[in-house]
């Protein structure tokens, strides 16, 4: 069982806005910024957001927010190439460990 | 992109040992936390271990404590994971990841991974 909770699957159509959520507690998301990682067909993960920052090369249709013990990744204007597994992660100070969510499979219809 | 290249993955018998390496380039290696993350077949990402910039602090997931050791050689821009007493459940692709300057506990760049198979 993962320390962070994500939806198992989310789907959307091309051009649609979708939001993926990541739920934790005061020891992790409530205290630290969250990273979001994209993994296409079990290839190497790629960071698409860290905190509210967009890594170089990531399209600005990706954005993130965080409130209390929940974080969200929003993709505005969904594209076929966005179909992937998405993971959230952050530090947990009570565990002294980095924790991951179980991942959300995003399907672009 | 920031190249991170892992090596050392192999097929090993249960109880055996393996040492993974990760070579970093194109950035000031001494400025960043470094992390190992693994992914078992058909499973999600799992954090394994992290090490502070100067190697003074190290953290491990409970399942590898006492068996795995993370280390770094900043003179060689390299990260290592010494894995002892390997178990079948350690079978996974192991990724090396670099942290950020501004956010703790988050990876910014990832390597391509190296496959470890523990099987008799």
Separation CA A19–CA A107 (nearest Å): 12
CB atoms B47 and A37 under 8 Å: no
Average pLDDT over residues A37-49: 96
Inter-chain residue contact A45 with B108, CB threshold 8 Å: no
Pick among A56, A98, A100, A101 to test the B interface (most B CBs inside 10 A): A98
The whole-number pLDDT of residue B104 equals 85
Average pLDDT in chain A: 96
Q: Where are the beta strands (DSSP E) in chain B?
A: 4-7, 11-12, 18-24, 34-39, 45-51, 58-60, 68-73, 78-83, 92-99, 107-110, 114-118
Per-residue pLDDT reduced to its tens digit, B21-74? 999 999 999 999 999 999 999 999 999 999 999 999 999 999 999 999 999 999
Give tens-digit pLDDT for A72-98. Answer: 999 999 999 999 999 999 999 999 999
């Amino acid at each position: 069982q993962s320390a962070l909770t994500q939806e198992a699957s989310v789907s959307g159509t091309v051009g649609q806005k979708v939001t993926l959520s990541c739920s934790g507690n005061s020891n992790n998301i409530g205290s630290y910024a969250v990273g979001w990682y994209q993994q296409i067909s079990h290839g190497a993960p790629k960071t698409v957001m860290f905190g509210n920052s967009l890594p170089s090369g990531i399209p600005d249709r990706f954005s993130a927010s965080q409130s209390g013990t929940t974080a969200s990744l929003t993709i505005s204007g969904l594209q076929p190439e966005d179909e992937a597994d998405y993971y959230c992660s952050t530090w947990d100070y009570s565990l002294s460990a980095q924790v991951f969510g179980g991942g959300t499979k995003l399907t672009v219809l | 992109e920031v190249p991170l290249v892992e090596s050392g993955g192999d097929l090993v018998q249960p109880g055996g040992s393996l040492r993974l390496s990760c070579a970093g380039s194109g950035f000031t290696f001494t400025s960043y936390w470094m992390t190992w993350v693994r992914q078992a077949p058909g499973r999600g990402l799992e954090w394994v271990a992290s090490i502070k910039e100067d190697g003074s602090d190290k953290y491990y997931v409970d399942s590898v404590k006492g068996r795995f050791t993370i280390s770094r050689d900043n003179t060689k821009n390299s990260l290592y994971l010494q894995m002892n007493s390997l178990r079948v459940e350690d079978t996974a692709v192991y990724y090396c990841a670099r942290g950020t300057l501004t956010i703790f506990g988050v990876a910014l760049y990832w390597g391509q991974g190296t496959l470890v198979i523990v099987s008799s």
